[in-house]
Structure 1
Amino acid sequence: MGNRFGTDDVLPGEAPARNRDFSDMPPAFIEMGKLDAFRNEAVAYALGIMKAHVPCELHVIGGVTHIFDTFPMPIADRAFEYRSYVISQP
């Protein structure tokens, strides 16, 4: 976003939690670590989607940070397996 970061020039798709109307959003699967710097924004986005009655699955995984799934650990493997399962559903 460069020098637009934090301004009103940021587009809704670039910072989706800023949206006021979520009714036209697609179904979402949102997953982040509890220690993720973007956690609160991701949760706000998920809540906006849910309040608009758009299907949304939210996972906040305790004890891990942003990009936790790039590290070799059992919780990352389980998250990847479940995410793959959700994506493969019709």
Structure 2
Amino acid sequence: MDLNDNTMKFNVQDDSIDADAGDVLFTVYHALEEKGYNPINQIVGYLLSGDPAYIPRYKDARTLIRKIERDELIEELVRSYLHEHGKEKE
């Protein structure tokens, strides 16, 4: 028996690296809007609970939003808000 005793390396492409939090939020927002939901309420529900049931499968929105950690989504929202509104306070 010729057994290969070397450790083999298995690489999995991480799709979450390709996903931009801002783009995902916009895509999910539009999917929720098209389905007749209040997008803000649904996204907040997801961010607070972590329950993907707040996001529909429509246009693959649920899969997309789950590729990014919730803290990264919140960070994007805070950064965007401060960028937009921070200039007004100067």
TM (norm. structure 2) is 0.29
Report 1 or 2 for greater relative contact order, CA contacts < 8 Å, sequence distance ≥ 6.
Answer: 2
Report which of the two has the higher share of helix.
2
TM (norm. structure 1) is 0.29
Report which of the two has the higher share of strand.
1
